[in-house]
Amino acid sequence: MPCSVLDCGRPRAAQGYCDTHYRRLRRYGNLDAPPRPKRGECSVKKCGRQHYGGGLCQRHWQAKRLHGDPLLVADTGGRKRRAKDDCDVDGCVQPYRVRGFCDKHYRRWKQHGDPLVVIDPNAGIPWLTKGAYRILRMPRHPLARASGHVLEHRMVLFDSIGSGTHACHWCAMVTTWSNSWPKSADALVVDHLDRDRTNNVPGNLVPSCQPCNAKRANEWRGAVKALRQ
């Protein structure tokens, strides 16, 4: 029997409709053809990229070809997930790229472990000092030295907890960024929880007073020396 839609003529598939009209009824709630996207634009909401094929841009067309859904993408771990219109970071309207972040916040997350870490665009390439601390050239940062350089671990913690005074993570002694050791006993020293001086993600850094920092360093050196004997 033919489809119940007037002048259709296709054979019935379900509920008196042909396959085409039945899919329209299930997907759109009516028998009308879906509106076509503007010529030259991707049909995915908020995409705006140039049309490539099948009403989609090249990115969404490729996702549909590989995964059967233009919004289904594979992240860096190979797992399939539904892409979002915007970056996961609150207030960011840039398009999603990978792991829920846009290009900018993904680069920050990949480099520093935190998508909200702000890096000065004029910063130079980090390098290691003799003590294995990473240094950046950031003359505009509040902690920058006269040369324009700042220790990366101090910059990351400062940007995370702010200026002013902070209690030592170990003994609660009040410390401050504005003073320096050894001139001032209350100078704020940045301590690495895992003792890895190159691991400068915010969760690995805590404010410390100099005595506690030195005590932990001596304990660590003693433990390492005992293991070597």
pLDDT over 80 at 192, yes or no: yes
Among 205, 204, 209, which residue's Cα sits nearest to residue 168?
Answer: 209
| pLDDT per position as a tens digit, 118-168 | 654 445 555 555 467 888 878 888 998 887 888 889 999 999 999 999 999
Number of H helices, E strands in the chain: 5, 9
Burial of 105: CB neighbours in 10 Å, binned 0-12, 13-18, 19+: buried
* Largest CA-CA distance found in the chain, in angstroms, rounded: 95
133 part of a folded domain: yes
Q: Cα–Cα distance between 149 and 128 in angstroms, integer?
A: 12
Specify if 52 maps to a domain: no
Q: How many domains does the chain have?
A: 3
CATH code of the domain in which 188 resides: 3.90.75
Q: Chain-wide mean pLDDT for the chain?
A: 78
Residue range 34-76, pLDDT digits in tens: 666 556 778 776 677 788 888 888 877 877 877 777 776 554 4
pTM for the whole structure: 0.46
Q: What are phi and psi of 205, to 5 degrees?
A: -115, 135
Residue 27 is part of which domain span?
1-35
Where is average pLDDT lowest: 6-15, 52-61, 86-95, 186-195?
A: 86-95
Q: What percent of the chain has pLDDT over 90?
A: 21
- Closest Cα partner for 181 from 146, 153, 209, 207? 209
69 lies in the same domain as 158: no
138 shares a domain with 103 = no
